[in-house]
Amino acid sequence: MSLINRVYVENVGAHVGEEVELRGWLYNKRSSGKIRFLLMRDGTGIVQGVMVKGSVPDEVFERFDALTQESAFGLKGKVRKEDRAPGGYELEVSDVVIYSIAHEYPIAPKEHGVEFLADRRHLWLRSSRQHAIMRVRHRIIKAIRDFFDERGFTLLDSPILTPAACEGTTTLFETEYFDLGKAYLTQSGQLYAEAGAMAFGKVYCFGPTFRAEKSKTRRHLSEFWMVEPEVAFADLNDDMDLAEEFLEYIVQSVLRDRERELKVLERNTTFLQNVKCPLPRITYDEAVEILKRKGVAFEWGNDFGGTDETIISEQFDRPVMVHRYPAQVKAFYMKRDPENPNLALAVDVLAPEGYGEIIGGSQREDDLDTLIRRIQEHQLPQEAFEWYLDLRRYGTVPHAGFGLGIERTVAWICGLDHVRETIPFPRMIYRLTP
RNA sequence: UCCGCGAUAGCUCAAUGGUAGAGCAUGCGGCUGUUAACCGCAGGGUUGCAGGUUCGAGUCCUGCUCGCGGAGCCA
């Protein structure tokens, strides 16, 4: 049996009446004496095999007794449409092949605490809920790559080890780098993506990013994935056009191809169906007005906190773009609004239902002298940014881009209450294992 | 770093300051359509750690460790 022709659970419906062989792990088993049910999980789904005493040799019938939860085994038998079976199909078992008997499996088919499961993340990934989440994550990432690919973007990945802070704000993970002193794990690939945009016009980078902040919330990981497009000859409006088209593409792809998974997750997709262009665009000032109207004591000039973002996003039935923030709360490389130099040409996209900021972007400062002044104002070491300043010395153009956090996007689309379930092996302040 | 909550069987939890228990899991037995199957029996505990109050502490007090949620920071 070649890999190509192997039958997997997700395809058994195409083999009704045929004798097939499935390979997988025991999800659960049930018995009523002379009739026995084996539930096999093979990574694509779960199907039940049924054996009646006398319909198979006794030695095959008795292998049921040896199989423990998560034991690896093969099932041979004829596929039958059966409404009483989970999934609608079942296997009339003719043979059972045991590959390995599992030790007592710690994750029983019942409720467990988060800590217990997190300690066994390598096993937890086998459960149907985690399986559904990872399948959605995969589809989101494929949609991201397809989106940029279809629009002529070039993938240009940025380095993970960097000589200095990209934005000079957050705490970074530090390591020794041979004889060259300290290196830092990247917190953003954006500056390198800008170099890419000047070389290729439209690029994106997509990789892990690291923040050593001691954040302890349901929205933070110390290692997370971010996709960052960067486009030459683009302003803030172009950036927002790209972001809304991007979000619509991702969400609609998942709705179309991951209906089953969203059902497993019991996700109410009402808000997701609404994610279609155009998305509402409001200014920072208008967002502040919303907060004031809702009785929030908010001072102009601050950045929004988690609860502020929730209140703002609750006013809309789809993600909302908030643009033109006070420059003081944004990064040094963001261009100022020519009509009001106190404002940065920045945009944050806030997801509905309290999921917060999933995209942060801006038009970049393209003037050499202004950018040097910003670096000085932020007290950043100019020599570390000389290569970045070169981008303004040699053919500078208006350009813009944004970053989308994968884990927050997965949490939002799946309707999860914590990002720790959105990545196979989460890294958090108090968790480095497994 | 700050604020709040928590830790009891392998797991999820219960137990007015007075004999530490249930469900699930595991083992054994039963059941010819099970759906986190069901029914019966059995084994399973240094109540996170250290100290204190008390005739008596899982329960009250102090300290510590670990975890969870939130703030700040951010995607």
For domain A9-100, give the fold. Answer: OB fold (Dihydrolipoamide Acetyltransferase, E2P) (2.40.50)
Q: Which nucleotide is nearest to A54 (CA to C1')?
A: B32
Is the C-beta of residue A150 closer than 7 Å to nucleic acid chain B? Answer: no
Say which CATH superfamily domain A121-421 falls into.
Bira Bifunctional Protein; Domain 2 (3.30.930.10)
**A125 vs A165, higher pLDDT:** A125
Q: Which residue has the tokens 């972007």?
A: A361
Does any strand B atom come closer than 7 Å to the Cβ of A81?
A: no
Residue A8 has pLDDT above 90, yes or no: yes
> Does A222 contact strand B, using a CB cutoff of 7 Å?
yes
The whole-number Å distance from A248's CA to B21's C1' is: 54
Query: Tell me, what DSSP letter sits at residue A365?
Result: P
Measure A117 CA to B19 C1' (Å): 35
Say how far apart CA A276 and CA A316 lie, in whole Å: 13
Taking the CA of residue A8 and the C1' sugar atom of nucleotide B11, their distance in angstroms comes to 31
Q: Cα A425–A431–A434 angle (5° rounding)?
A: 45
Mean pLDDT of A90-95: 94
CA-to-CA distance for A390 and A162, rounded, in angstroms? 18
Contact flag, residue A119 CB and nucleic strand B, below 7 A:
no
Within window 238-297 on A, which residues have Cβ closer than 7 Å to strand B?
none
Residues spanned by CATH 3.30.930.10 within chain A? Answer: 121-421
What average pLDDT does this structure show over A178-186?
87
Cα–Cα distances in Å, from A251 out to A145, A336, A353, A386, A410? Answer: 14, 31, 15, 39, 10
Residue A181 backbone zone (phi > 0: left; psi -120 to 50: alpha; other: beta) = left
> Looking at the C1' of nucleotide B30, which residue has the nearest alpha carbon?
A33
Higher-confidence residue of A428 and A404: namely A404
When the pLDDT of each residue in chain A is averaged and rounded to a whole number, the result is 90
Average pLDDT over residues A407-419: 92
Tens of pLDDT, residue by residue over A36-45, are 999 999 999 8
C-alpha dist (Å) from residue A248 to A237, A242, A346: 17, 10, 20
Of A406, A333, A394, A384, nearest to A363 by C-alpha is A333
In chain A, ranges of CATH 2.40.50.140 domains: 9-100
Residues pairing with A349 in the sheet: A321, A359
Would the Cβ of A221 be found within 7 angstroms of any atom in strand B? Answer: yes
For strand B, the positions having any atom within 7 A of a protein Cβ are: 1-2, 10-13, 23-27, 30-38, 66-75
Nearest residue: Cα versus C1' of B35: A86
- What is the nearest nucleotide to A37, using C1' and CA? B34
Distance CA A359, CA A253 (A): 18
A64 Cβ within 7 A of any nucleic strand B atom: no
Collapsed DSSP state (helix, strand, coil) of residue A184: strand
Asked if the Cβ of residue A28 lies within 7 A of any atom of strand B, the reply is yes
Task: Give how far Cα A387 sits from Cα of A163, A207, A355, Å.
Answer: 12, 22, 36
Decide if pLDDT at A163 tops 60.
Answer: yes
Q: Cα dist. A156→A271, A334, A359, A407 in Å?
A: 33, 21, 19, 21
Q: Looking at residue A116, what is its pLDDT? A: 84
pLDDT for residue A120 is more than 70: yes
The b/e string for A129-149 (b: 16+ C-beta within 10 A; e otherwise) is ebbbbbbbbebbbebbeebbe
Three-class DSSP category at A33:
coil
Distance CA A321, CA A76 (A): 54
* AA letter at A317: D
A98 CB less than 7 Å from any atom of strand B: no
Distance of alpha carbon A165 from the chain centroid: 24
Q: How far apart (Å, rounded) are the C-alpha atoms in residues A392 and A198?
A: 10
CA of A307 to C1' of B71 (A): 11
Sorted by sequence, the CB contacts under 8 Å of residue A57 that are 6+ apart come out as: none
Q: Is the CB of A336 under 7 A from strand B?
A: no
ipTM of this model?
0.83
3-state helix, strand, coil in chain A (%, to 5): 35, 30, 35
What span, in angstroms and rounded, lies between the C-alpha atoms of A132 and A267? 11
pLDDT band at A208 (very low <50, low <70, confident <90, very high): very high
pLDDT digits (tens, 9 = 90+) for A278-336: 999 999 999 999 998 888 888 888 888 888 898 899 899 899 999 999 998 888 999 99
* A64 contacts A51 by C-beta, under 8 angstroms: yes
The four Cα atoms A260, A264, A268, A274 give a dihedral, to 10 degrees, of -30
Q: What do you get for the CA distance between the two ends of chain A, in Å?
A: 35
